[in-house]
Chains A and B, each alone.
Chain A
Amino acid sequence: MVTTPTSTSPPIAVTTARLERRWRRSRDTVILLVFSAPLLIFLALPLLALIVRAAPVDLLANLFDPDVAQAIWLSMATTTTTLLLTLVLGTPVAFLLARRRFRGRAALDTLIDLPIVLPPLVAGIALLLAFGRRGLLGQQFSVMGIDIAFTRIAVVMAQLFVAAPFFVKAATAGFANVDREIEYAAALDGASSFQVFRLITIPLSGAALLAGAIMTWARALGEFGATIIFAGNFPGRTQTMPLAIYLGFELELNRALTLSAILLLASFLVLFIVKVLLRQRLQVWGQ
């Protein structure tokens, strides 16, 4: 908070000093903007070109194209499933990493980092070698009559593999930053471990959890490489928006453009709304 001066007319020297400070600050802002401009323009221009190129009329017309609609629906359904699975399966891992010190913790932490740095194509091959029909576990699944490859399950698994670590990383940091004193106080007052977790830990790390969940969702939405290798490409079954964009690019550029624009607008909107919400909540918590 900026405190406004309460004293009456400060001495001239103080005023000029403040003016000078203010001038220097705005000069620095200008310099900062000049040096920030290249990257900002570089990032914004291609996205802008995409929006400009996809004419709104075409966009609307293509929106009702069955293949396009199918891809959008499939992307929404699979990314939502991926997100829910990440929350359920990722939260215990994040809590373990944040609150326990044990042998091999660093290795575990690195394991979580790996899918983030691996090329998605490698993730796809690895998934195939593990869960494919002739893979490590796939053979057992195959005997039970469960085939994973080329199904929606494979789409979700590919997304989970590459996207879940984003939530786990954010949640680990969030849990680690919660003031333990408050948790102890709640426990002393008779709260069970689960009550402490639900009523203290989760709300206090809420911002980090939300940010992590959003990153996971966004990464899942854009997932391409692991999906096309592990789940293949079949319209309506495994052809998510990124796959439809890639395959449409060579055949029907307009359709690819429509999907790209929708992907871009949807991602921007969700990220933006969440950030605004996040800021408000943080301010509420701050007070």
Chain B
Amino acid sequence: METLKHWSLLALALLLTGCSLPGPAAKGAAADRLIVFAAASLTDPFQELAAQFEAANSGVDVVFNFAGSQQLAQQLAQGAAVDLFASANDYQMGAAIDAGRVISGTQRVFAGNKLVVITPVGSPTSLNTLQDLATPGVKIVLAARNVPVGDYALMFLKKAATSSQFGAGYDQAVLANVVSYEENVKAVLSKVVLGEADAGVVYSSDVPPALLDKVQRIEIPERLNALATYPIAIVADAPNSALAQRFLKFVLSPEGQAVLAHYGLIPVRE
């Protein structure tokens, strides 16, 4: 269960509260139907990929189940009929491998994600650099420690404190400005979009171009950033493995990677 203003935010709210759609139950799927289980953070880019794929292959129908990777891995372990599984981390892909649904070694990294600091557009307090986060009085929201992105954010602060650019007290100064540890990354995003907080730390892919009129990005240098990788694999007993193979190829193609990059994911360098 999760959390959201505005019509654009209402869509966000639906995304948060609507957890997941039930996986497609039909076993004897049509020959041109592709069933994809994908991490929730892939919702927007994968829907666009599917639209392009369907346009290029007439008659093909791509069906998605978007949810938290751990939920998808669990559904896979329980025997859901799936062609492709795209996870937000290696750990949950490993769970699918352990469950015997994915053959170890067949998975491929297709995208990366990174942290980014966001600030509301038109904020009274002008925040332009990462150093500004340590200015007393700035209101910062982070995800809670037990949420992956919250843990990554703490790692970034700790790394920054060892850098001469930021100084040893940086992480403590920033943490002293934290006003809330949110239960999930979308809640961090909404508090910044609403202007309640002056800054937040989220995944790069959480800030699609459509949101750039509401929030500003402050990039975190790669050496301080915590990078996440997204693996994808064709399920061992995929009902439609030939079509799955074609979709996978499309995701890894320059066109596919461009779509992922457009939505803030990091394309894999071939």
Which A residues are closer than 8 A to B by beta carbons?
121, 125, 128-129, 132-134, 142, 147, 149-150, 228-229, 231-235, 238, 246-247, 250-251
Contact assessment for B3 and A121 in the assembled complex, using a CB-CB cutoff below 8 Å: yes
The listed residue (B3, B144, B181) touching A229 by CB distance below 8 A is: B3
A128 to B192, CA, bound (A): 12
The listed residue (A142, A149, A247) touching B183 by CB distance below 8 A is: A247
A229 to B4, CA, bound (A): 8
User: Which residues of chain B in 167-204 are interfacial with respect to chain A, using CB atoms and an 8 Å cutoff?
Assistant: 178-183, 187, 191, 194-197
Contact assessment for B179 and A129 in the assembled complex, using a CB-CB cutoff below 8 Å: no
Closest to B10 in A: A125
Closest to B5 in A: A129
Q: How far is the CB of B137 from chain A (nearest CB, A)?
A: 10
Q: How far is the CB of A233 from chain B (nearest CB, A)?
A: 5
Contact assessment for A128 and B194 in the assembled complex, using a CB-CB cutoff below 8 Å: yes
A149 to B3, CA, bound (A): 16
Contact assessment for A234 and B181 in the assembled complex, using a CB-CB cutoff below 8 Å: yes
Contact assessment for A232 and B5 in the assembled complex, using a CB-CB cutoff below 8 Å: no
7 inter-chain pairs at a CB distance below 8 angstroms, sorted by A residue, are A125-B5, A128-B5, A128-B194, A134-B196, A150-B179, A150-B180, A232-B141
Contact assessment for B180 and A234 in the assembled complex, using a CB-CB cutoff below 8 Å: yes
Closest to A132 in B: B196
Q: Which 10 A-B pairs have the closest CB atoms?
A: A232-B180, A150-B179, A251-B146, A134-B195, A149-B196, A250-B146, A233-B181, A132-B196, A234-B180, A233-B180
Taking CB atoms, residues of chain A closer than 8 Å to B179 are: 150, 232, 234
Contact assessment for B178 and A234 in the assembled complex, using a CB-CB cutoff below 8 Å: yes
Closest to B122 in A: A134
Closest to A231 in B: B180
Closest to B4 in A: A125
A133 to B181, CA, bound (A): 18
A174 to B5, CA, bound (A): 39
Contact assessment for A233 and B183 in the assembled complex, using a CB-CB cutoff below 8 Å: yes
A127 to B124, CA, bound (A): 21
A184 to B69, CA, bound (A): 69
Contact with A along B1-42 (1 / 0, CB 8 A): 001110000000100010000000000000000000000000
Instruction: Tell which of A228, A231, A232 has the most Cβ of chain B within 10 Å.
Output: A232
Contact assessment for A247 and B5 in the assembled complex, using a CB-CB cutoff below 8 Å: no
B217 touches A (CB below 8 Å): no
B145 touches A (CB below 8 Å): yes
Contact assessment for B144 and A247 in the assembled complex, using a CB-CB cutoff below 8 Å: yes
Q: A128-B5, A132-B196 are in contact. List 8 more A-B contacts (CB 8 A).
A: A125-B13, A129-B5, A134-B195, A142-B124, A228-B187, A234-B178, A234-B180, A251-B144
Closest to B147 in A: A250
Closest to B181 in A: A233
